[in-house]
Structure 1
Amino acid sequence: MIKLTHINYWFMLLLLLGFAACSDDKDNEELISKSKLNVSASALRFSSDKADTVFINYAGSWNAKLNDDSWCTLDKTSGKGQGMIVITPKPRNDAEMKSAKLIVQATDRFSEMQIINLILNGIEFYADPIVVEFGLGDNATYAVDVVYEGGWTATLDDESWCSLNQASGNGNGQIKITSKFGPDDSGEKSTLLTLTSTEDPNLKTTVEIKKVEEFKHGSCITLNKATKGKGINLLITGDGFIKSDMGRNGYWQQIMERSLESIFAYEPFKSFREYFNVYGITAVSQTNSFHTDGTPSETFFGCSFVNQVINTNGFTISPTTFAWEHSPVYNTDIPGQDITVLLSVNINRYCGVAQLSGSGPSIGMGGIWDGEGRFNHDTYSTMIAHEFLGHAFGKLSDEYYSDNASITEADIAATKREREAFGHWQNVEFTNKPAEFDNKNWKALLEMNYPEVGIIQGGRYCQYGVWRSINDNIMRNQNAVLYFGPVNREIILRRIYKLAGMENEYSLDVFLEYDKKNIKK
């Protein structure tokens, strides 16, 4: 439960000093376009008719209004630059809780504040929050805290699309509200949760409950449901997607669906779609602009770029943690290392990169790049194939290299340690002698002269000292060859069987039978 307090004297003094220091900037239009509207509080509570103050910090002009002025007044409704608004409750004799919104508008942005009278003739009785919004996606549950020292009852005006976990309580408590509509149910809805004191039936407080036609921050939607095996969990989230992208059939939903179809466009994922759960987790950003100097952007995760690549050390919030915690697999017995996350960055830039973890979720990420007209295929899809399917899920190494570069003994030792501990990097070897290969299935495919399986020097960023199995495939040049090579398909299929709970059923013969359809004639 959120506890709010009045602004103290010293905080007001600091704000006023800050206003004085900035007063020369108020007429600068360039500054106005870049500045943010800041309001000193997000909510105020009144216990009597004593006034309280809100401070506004903005470089340009602003106006203010109440959506309900029946119980309180503002001393001003407009201003320019820094200023303050005094809010005064009107004298009253009733015990009903009152609420209103103070809306401060400045150029193209606004800040909203709930003003809630919580003291009812000396009795504290309120719900927090006073508005609950369900959005598009799977069924969700929200909690409402009840603050009251006595007994209370809870009723819904309309129980057809949401339900309560309890109808009464005594003292401080919590009510959980669960939606009953599916992701395909369209149309907005609203109802009212009424809390009534059992000691005084005239003492009530309410919570407005809404269903809106947009994806809400932190919501989850099931994009693909496993019907076989244990269910392998893939999570999709995004950075730089703003509120206007969140409507039904809007841009964020299109990206989720496009990502889903990209995942199952490549073998062996295409043939084993029924073994996967795919969940879309919504993250709403305040902006879709990104920094290119490596400093965190003002997007939700803070994605930024250095030399065209995502700065993986610059996240302000971990995308893997956020997606995992807002998915159905959180707080289950599914290990973190069995979770794979796709971060779609809302920028027309390739910028693909992946982070692999041995103990937690792995992530593949990249921009929604259109290929600049240079390719006749979906370059966002091939980014997903390389970074998300190949690296993050398959644990495959890059197979491209820099000319004249040789791998060091230290790099070989580190790679082998990760391979032994976590099963990473099985698509490269550090010898051209099959008898010494760590990947015995690669050796077996060589011995049977399997199509497109060989020993070719160059990979893992080095031209010398590293060998790959195929001249070209997604892991070497994703925009030239749009498939995984046989050795890579086998590695991925082996992992699918493991995560689906069928590890004991897997053998190379299983792969050979499956892969007949992929062999080029």
Structure 2
Amino acid sequence: MKKFCIWLLAFLLWACSEENDKEPELFSLSVPSLSFSSGGGSKVVGVDTNTDWVILTESLPAWLSVKDVADDYVVLVAEMNDTEEKRSSNVMFSTPSETYSLNIRQNAREQLAFQGKTEWTVSSEEEDYEIPVSRNVSFDMKILDNGEEWLSMSSNSGNHPPLGGIQAEIGNSDTDSLTVHVKENTHQESRKARLVIYNDQYALADTLFVTQEQAAKKYADGTYMRLQQAVKGKVNVVVMGDGFTSADLREGGNYEKAVHEAVEHFFSIEPFTSYRDYFNVYTVVAESPEAGVGEKGRFGSSVDNKFGTMFGEGTEITCKDERVFEYAYRVEELDKEEPMLVILVLNSTKYAGTTYMYSDGNAIALCPMSAEASPNDFEGLVHHEAGGHGFGFLCDEYVYYQTQIPKSRVQEIKEWQLLGYQTNLDFTGNEEEIRWKDFIGLDKYEAVGAYEGGFEYQFGVWRSEANSCMNDNVPYFNVQSRWAIVNRIMELSGLPYTVEDFIRDDPGSVRLQQESRGHFSSTPFRPLGTPVLIRR
């Protein structure tokens, strides 16, 4: 029994010694990960192991396969990646006791191209353009065909130099943009250049063909043009602008657009719409050294413009009126003995307005291109200042003070009424004596009566209808205002005309009265500058 126990102990010790002498499993790959270019291909991965191993092929994506397997290596094959997205997968190696992973990555298809059209035509003006670029590689840029004389460009994402032959992972396609600065073309010929983006490592390049138009024709300072010729009468209107610089004087440019817009606004309200054929309309080009309009009392707000226009207190505007007339009379057809209206468009979006009215029949209406909502917009200012004050010589009808109109104001208006000015107001509420008594009681003028309030004061002064353009800029002139306007058109045209003729011809009077009831503006009204009356 003792001998048996000794033998068993010896056997166990031998067995334990055999177990301890067994070598542990070793497995390693020659690379921690593998990267393929978009073109695909095959790569060898070395295997260092002391045990059996297999690749779990069910884990392989469709674009990756095993070409060859030996005890100490494997050949992996990636197909071409013709997409704009990179891709990756893990190859699983299995031994009797462990599973090992090898990460495989493949670059997206290398891409570098201008997006959209490859031929651009730009204007002759100096300007910056944003050009989109689709890419997933870095790139460089160059300008060909002497374009560097008038073109420059930069990458908005920061331009990195090309990869320079160093293999790098290509990410998914992204969109960047180039800023291309184009200088003004002052020549009477168009010019062309090529913009090139490229990456030498991947042999990628794309070209954008740029054509710049020839210099636009510019209107010279002091030149004039007839915009419309009268066919029935001979009323003269001159439209000019202030605060417009050389850059605005191109054919089809800001000056021309502003002038034409003012003209259309002037004739977009009755009775000017129906009597448009009685007007000669001219424009004179006025180039200002600096853009915009100055502002009184503010440091650094002086603007060197042609006619010295400046915003004053509230909505007041001033100008150098003699210079305005000097330029207006550049129109050779104008007779200085014949009155004219000058509409001076200001290169500003501010809400303001003032009209200079002269006893000799001339007027200057200062109209900024207001960006406020209708009826306080540019059109509303032209209606009120140019159509109402400047041509119709109408007085404001809004009420600002809940008091009696001062006797000095009454006397001032009556003196101007003797010259035919400000006849849209009266100082009696007696419907049998009031200035517009001829319209009261007629079916087509059912809205006409004696409405107290006008020229800023609530009491002691009357107007012909509840609301009108001279109250809050709404696009409607009341009947007395229309009569004053049409009567002046006929006087300036040398044509006989009576109030009976007006009643017969008054355009859409019933419709206009009906519409006027809904013309009370929902936009808060701010009084415009008080008209400046000048005797000479």
TM-score (norm 1): 0.54
- Verify the 8 A CA contact 1:362 1:392 in the aligned structure 2: yes
- The corresponding residue for 1:417 is 415
Alignment of 1:274 onto 2:277: yes
Q: Distance in 2 between matches of 1:333 and 1:238?
A: 21
Matched residue type, 1:391: H
Contact 2:291 2:303 in 1 (8 A): no
Does the Cα contact within 8 Å between 2:271 and 2:507 map onto a contact in 1?
no
- State the 1:380 CA deviation: 0.6
Task: Provide the residue aligned with 2:453 in structure 1.
Answer: 458
**2:505 aligned residue:** 514
- 2:228 equivalent in structure 1: 224
Specify the code of the residue in structure 1 equivalent to 2:313.
N
Give the alignment partner of residue 311 of structure 2, picking from 293, 305, 308. Answer: 305
* 2:319 is the alignment partner of 1:321: no
Does structure 2 retain, via aligned residues, the 8 Å contact 1:303–1:310?
Answer: no
1:307–1:228 CA distance, 2 compared to 1 (3 A)? same
Match of 1:482 in 2: 475
**Are residues 256 and 508 of structure 1, via their aligned partners in 2, closer, same or farther at CA, if it must alter by over 3 Å?**
same
Cα deviation for residue 423 of structure 1 reads: 0.4
Contact 1:386/1:474 (<8 A) preserved:
yes
> Offset of 1:306 from its aligned partner?
1.6
Aligned 8 A contact 2:448 2:465 in 1: yes
Q: Which residue of 2 aligns with 1:174?
A: none
User: SS of the residue aligned with 1:244?
Assistant: helix
Matched, 1:395 2:390: no
Q: Name the SS of the counterpart of 1:217 in structure 2.
A: coil
Q: Which amino acid aligns with 1:214?
A: K
1:517: Cα distance to partner?
2.3
1:497 aligns with 2:490: yes
Query: Counterpart of 1:432?
Result: 429
Q: What amino acid maps onto 1:518 in structure 2?
A: S
Give me the whole-angstrom Cα distance separating, in 2, the residues matched to 1:497 and 1:277: 14
Q: CA deviation at 1:360?
A: 5.2
| Corresponding pairs, count | 296
- In the TM superposition, 1:234-245 aligns within 5 A as 234-245=237-248
Tell me the distance in 2 between the aligned counterparts of 1:365 and 1:333: 21
> In 2 relative to 1, CA 378–317 (structure 1 residues): closer, same or farther, beyond 3 Å?
closer
Deviations 1:146-187 (A, max 9, x none): xxxxxxxxxxxxxxxxxxxxxxxxxxxxxxxxxxxxxxxxx9
Read off the aligned partner of 1:341 and give its amino acid letter.
Answer: V
Q: Determine the C-alpha separation between the residues in 2 that align with 1:353 and 1:311.
A: 6
Deviations along 1:175-216, whole A, 9 cap, x unmatched? xxxxxxxxxxxx98xxxxxxxxxxxxxxxxxxxxxxx81111
Which blocks of at least 5 consecutive residues in structure 2 are unaligned? 1-213, 515-536
Cα gap change, 1:452 to 1:294, in 2 (>3 Å): farther
Amino acid at match of 1:379: D
1:40 aligned partner = none
Contact 1:405 1:461 in 2 (8 A): no
**Aligned AA for 1:430?**
F
> Contact 2:293/2:347 (CA < 8 Å) preserved in 1?
no
Q: What is the letter of the counterpart of residue 241 of structure 1? A: F
Look up the SS of the partner of 1:390 in the other structure: helix
| Alpha carbons 1:459, 1:466 under 8 Å: kept | yes
Query: Which residue of structure 1 aligns with residue 261 of structure 2?
Result: 258
1:398-434 C-alpha deviation (Å, 9 max, x unpaired): 00011323211122112111111x2011100111113
Name the SS of the counterpart of 1:426 in structure 2. Answer: coil
SS of corresponding position for 1:301: coil
Give 1:491 deviation, angstroms: 1.3
Q: In percent, how many aligned pairs have the same letter?
A: 27
The structure-2 alpha-carbon separation of the partners of 1:424 and 1:515, relative to structure 1 and needing over 3 Å to count, comes to: same
Task: Write out aligned runs for 1:160-309 (5 A).
Answer: 213-229=217-233, 231-294=234-297, 297-309=303-315
Equivalences for residues 330-349 of structure 1 within 5 A:
330=334, 332=335, 334-335=337-338, 338-349=339-350
CA offsets per residue over residues 46-99 of structure 1, 9 Å max, x none?
Answer: xxxxxxxxxxxxxxxxxxxxxxxxxxxxxxxxxxxxxxxxxxxxxxxxxxxxxx
TM-superposed CA distance for 1:516, in Å, is 5.2
Matches within 5 A, 1:55-134: none
CA distance in 1, matches of 2:432, 2:446: 20
For structure 1, which segment, 390-399 or 266-275, has the greater mean C-alpha deviation from structure 2 after superposition? Answer: 266-275
Structure-1 separation of matches of 2:393 and 2:237: 14
Q: Decide whether aligned partners of structure 1 residues 452 and 226 sit closer, same or farther in structure 2, where only a CA change above 3 A counts.
A: same
Contact 1:459 1:467 in 2 (8 A): yes
Query: What is the CA–CA distance in structure 2 between the aligned matches of 1:384 and 1:495, rounded to whole Å?
Result: 18
Distance 1:306 1:333, change over 3 A: closer
How has the CA–CA distance of structure 1 residues 317 and 499 changed in structure 2, closer, same or farther, with 3 Å as cutoff? closer
Q: Which amino acid aligns with 2:329?
A: E
Q: Is the 8 A contact 1:287 1:298 kept in 2?
A: yes
For residues 114-173 of structure 1, the C-alpha deviation after alignment (integer angstroms, 9 at most, x for no partner) is xxxxxxxxxxxxxxxxxxxxxxxxxxxxxxxxxxxxxxxxxxxxxxxxxxxxxxxxxxxx
- Check conservation: 1:234, 1:341, Cα contact below 8 A: yes
Check conservation: 1:323, 1:341, Cα contact below 8 A.
no
Relative contact order: is structure 1 or structure 2 higher (C-alpha 8 Å, sep ≥ 6)?
2
Q: Distance in 2 between matches of 1:318 and 1:308?
A: 24
Separation in structure 1 between the aligned mates of residue 243 and residue 259 of structure 2, nearest angstrom: 14
State the 1:310 CA deviation.
Answer: 3.8
2:363 alignment partner AA: S
CA spacing shift, 1:418–1:294, aligned 2, 3 Å: farther
Change (3 A) 1:261 1:498: same
**For residue 232 of structure 2, what is the amino acid of its counterpart?**
K
TM-superposed CA distance for 1:246, in Å, is 0.4
Residue segments in structure 1 that go unaligned for 5+ positions in a row: 1-186, 189-211
After superposition, the Cα gap between the structure-2 partners of 1:417 and 1:317, relative to the gap in structure 1 and judged at 3 Å, is: closer
Match of 2:147 in 1: none
Change (3 A) 1:357 1:316: closer
Out of 357, 382, 385, the position equivalent to 2:383 is 385
Deviation at 1:252, TM superposition (A): 0.5
Q: Counterpart of 1:305 in structure 2: which amino acid?
A: F
- Structure 1 pair 319/397, CA: closer, same or farther in 2 (3 Å)? farther
Which has the larger Rg? 2
Partner residue of 2:91? none
Provide the residue aligned with 2:98 in structure 1: none
Q: Is the 8 A contact 1:236 1:281 kept in 2?
A: yes
Structure 1 residues 395 and 244, CA gap change in structure 2 (3 angstroms): same
1:234 deviation in Å?
Answer: 0.3
Distance 1:508 1:305, change over 3 A: same
Q: Distance in 1 between matches of 2:292 and 2:364?
A: 22
Assess, with a 3 A threshold, how the Cα gap between structure 1 residues 516 and 347 changes in structure 2: closer, same or farther.
closer
- In structure 2, what is the Cα distance between the partners aligned to 1:319 and 1:471? 39
Deviation, 1:308, is: 4.0
Amino acid at match of 1:508: V
SS at match of 2:294: coil
Give me the whole-angstrom Cα distance separating, in 2, the residues matched to 1:392 and 1:318. Answer: 16
For 2:292 and 2:479, locate their aligned partners in 1 and report how far apart those are by CA, in whole Å: 40
